[in-house]
Amino acid sequence: MLLNVVESGSFTKAGQKIGLTQSGVSHNITALESELGVTLLNRGRGGTSLTTAGEYIIPHIRNIVANIAHIEQKVSSLQGLELGKITVGSFPSFTAAFIPILFSIFKERFQNVELVLYEGGYDDIEKWVEEGTVDFGFTALPVKGFESIALTQDPLSAVVYDGHPFTEKSAVTIADFEEEPFIMLRSGCEVLIEDECRKAGLSLHTSYSSKENETVLSMVKGKLGISIMPNLAVSKRETHVHLLPLHPPVVRHLGLIIKSSDKMTPLAKELVKIVKEHFSNS
């Protein structure tokens, strides 16, 4: 229950998730605090947050929950059943491109297993994996401090609007952007772009920046500038924008990260196995 409150940020939302009233959740948390002799949560109009004591205790609670999940899945396996829950972290463009097929393949084999998706940016995914909120997460590699499995590469391309002079080119160099108003997508791939600029000894004229793919695309369509984006971030159904390859190519390496493969639940290991098979065959 405490984990539900922490993850949802309020007693009300936690209660809706587990089928209790707000007062019922509050009563249970208060009883836990009384038993432990410490206050775990700060209560306020803006919701709840962990106290210092709560921050210390919550990793241990996550470990307990993970160990219980291990036991439940082992018992289910012994009984010839496959029951349990897997939580996965992902970022939006990977989610749209790959999560539906990966989850569908898994569900064909394990119909009774619940799959839960947490979606956010690279930093969110690292935090969720570190804290144990998710069993593993899909992100851009490399990432320090985690076990990782490389899966695929995603090229970055120039993104320009209808009628832009670049549309006459077969490929675009980083140097071509030097005099162009630039819209920076700050979802993690900006590190690759900035590295290429340093190598070329130039600075981009960044007019706007956004963490949202759709915002950057809308600005490009509005002829406020041009951008560089990962191919996965641009839908194949997108209109009024053009993707042009970069020369030399710039790619982001995508994979999954795990805090400890030894501590993964059996079902999470099965999903990782399916993920690896899918990308090795594609």
Longest dimension (CA), the chain: 71
3-state secondary structure of 42: strand
Give domain status of residue 272, yes or no: yes
CATH code (residue 126): 3.40.190.10
Give domain status of residue 55, yes or no: no
118-136 average pLDDT score:
95
pLDDT at residue 181 above 90? yes
Q: Same domain for 23 and 100?
A: no
Query: How much is the pLDDT for 76?
Result: 64
**DSSP summary character for residue 209:** E
CATH code (residue 189): 3.40.190.290
Tell me the residue length of the chain: 282
Give domain status of residue 56, yes or no: no
Q: Same domain for 157 and 19?
A: no
pLDDT at residue 79 above 60? no
pLDDT at residue 62 above 70? yes
pLDDT at residue 50 above 80? yes
Give domain status of residue 6, yes or no: yes
- Calculate the average pLDDT of the chain: 91
Give domain status of residue 182, yes or no: yes
Q: Same domain for 190 and 208?
A: yes
Q: Same domain for 135 and 267?
A: yes
Q: Same domain for 141 and 161?
A: no
Q: Same domain for 267 and 141?
A: yes
30-52 average pLDDT score:
86
Query: How much is the pLDDT for 3?
Result: 82
Q: Give the separation between CA 48 and CA 25, rounded to whole angstroms.
A: 12
Higher pLDDT among residues 80 and 211, named by residue: 211
Q: Same domain for 132 and 165?
A: no
Query: Whole domain around residue 217: which residue ranges?
Result: 153-251
CATH code (residue 45): 1.10.10.10
Q: Same domain for 139 and 222?
A: no
Q: Same domain for 237 and 264?
A: no
Q: Give the separation between CA 28 and CA 25, rounded to whole angstroms.
A: 5
Q: Give the separation between CA 97 and CA 153, rounded to whole angstroms.
A: 13
Q: Same domain for 205 and 243?
A: yes
Confidence of residue 29 (pLDDT cuts 50, 70, 90): confident
Q: Same domain for 159 and 34?
A: no
Lowest pLDDT segment from 67-81, 84-98, 234-248: 67-81
pLDDT at residue 253 above 70? yes
Q: Give the separation between CA 49 and CA 67, rounded to whole angstroms.
A: 25
Confidence of residue 27 (pLDDT cuts 50, 70, 90): confident
Overall domain count for the chain:
3
Q: Please, is 51 exposed, middle or buried when counting C-beta atoms within 10 Å of its C-beta (0-12, 13-18, 19+)?
A: middle
Q: Same domain for 121 and 161?
A: no
Q: How many Cβ atoms are within 10 Å of 99's Cβ, its own excluded?
A: 17
